[in-house]
Structure 1
Amino acid sequence: MGSDSDLPVMRAAGGILSQLGVDSELTIVSAHRTPLRMVEYARTAAERGIRVIIAGAGGAAHLPGMVAALTWLPVIGVPVRGSTLDGLDSLLSIVQMPRGVPVATVAIDNAENAGLLAARILALADDALSRKLIAYADARRSDVEARAVALQHNAPEEGMA
């Protein structure tokens, strides 16, 4: 993440990865304040065993794109809502990458989806993780179905289809 102010958003990526049994690391690497640290982090990520990078940033949000320019690993960008343009500046900075420098981008403040996308990428080579992702999706589906049934039984008649 670009700064510790991104931590409340970015914890969700680590949370879902932990829930799925995927090891992850959480650190601060700023494209603007610590550019040499960013270069070192991105260039050595693969040799340190990292297989997917989730990079969250607000404002100008150059971190995901710069990291993607420095490594061949998949990079997932998380636009973090800032104080000026409600996260739109971050979203556009991350999604509008030049050809040849891909960054997968999730919705503003949606680090949980970034974690799920990273897990899906990793699951391509990990059958056990694939099964965990299927179980996760099944549990989400069952939860929605149970809520729908509960709503039908407990909701007032008017407005219900």
Structure 2
Amino acid sequence: MKAKVSIIMGSTSDLPVMEKAAKVLNDFRIPFEIHALSAHRTPEEVEKFAKGAFDRGIKAIIAGAGMAAHLPGVIAAMTPIPVIGVPINASLDGMDALLSIAQMPPGIPVATVGINGAMNAGILAGQILAIGDSELQKVVIAFKESLKEKMVKANEELASIKYDFKTN
């Protein structure tokens, strides 16, 4: 089994956030790998990873980083593969990371999810891969349908809650 998605984080302290992407990819049955690489502390390893990802068959990269959050952009600058940035709330309520990832210069796009939004990054990676994979597309569609079912059930549960002045 060869990885199709890489999950990269600036530090293993980011794992509690980034493991949400891993769970989605696992649930979607998409092979993935996880690495800790730092744009600032291990720039040579980041370059080697980014430049070699395409030849290794990686189809999407999910990169999480906090604070200065250069990791997703640095990777995006060195690969033709779509990069999904996950800003991590490490300081300033994550706004510093969000802006560092979202405000990329022209020609170096990084798809950016919300602060600590690794779950959405995993879903987005699944949707990207599903474009060319009809079986995966079925999995993604079933997942989306399950979201609707959860809302229907939630409203049924809310309907059973009684208050003197509740009208529904």
Q: Same fold (TM over 0.5)?
A: yes
1:12 alignment partner AA: K
What CA distance in whole angstroms lies between the structure 1 residues aligned with 2:162 and 2:65? 41
Q: How far does the alpha carbon of each residue in 1:81-120 deviate from its partner, in whole angstroms, 9 at most, with x for none?
A: 01x3010000000000000000000000010000000000
Per the alignment, residue 111 of structure 2 pairs with: 104
- Of the three residues 139, 144, 157, the one matched with 2:146 is 139
Q: 1:34 to 1:136 in 2, by over 3 A?
A: same
- Of the three residues 77, 81, 87, the one matched with 2:89 is 81
1:68 alignment partner AA: A
1:158 alignment partner AA: F
Per the alignment, residue 77 of structure 2 pairs with: 69
Runs in 1 of length 4+ with deviation above 2 angstroms? 154-161
What CA distance in whole angstroms lies between the structure 1 residues aligned with 2:30 and 2:167? 41
Q: How far does the alpha carbon of each residue in 1:31-72 deviate from its partner, in whole angstroms, 9 at most, with x for none?
A: 000000000000000111111000000000000000000000
RMSD, matched Cα? 1.0
1:65 alignment partner AA: G
How many residues align? The count is 160
What CA distance in whole angstroms lies between the structure 2 residues aligned with 1:157 and 1:143? 27
Q: Structure 1 residue 34 and structure 2 residue 38: aligned?
A: no
- Of the three residues 91, 96, 99, the one matched with 1:92 is 99
TM-score normalised to structure 2 length: 0.92
What CA distance in whole angstroms lies between the structure 2 residues aligned with 1:37 and 1:17? 24
Fraction of identical pairs, as percent? 47
2:81 alignment partner AA: L
Q: Secondary structure at the match of 1:72?
A: coil
Per the alignment, residue 56 of structure 2 pairs with: 48
Q: 1:56 to 1:158 in 2, by over 3 A?
A: same
Deviation at 1:153? 1.7
Query: Structure 2: where are the runs of 5+ without partners?
Result: 1-8
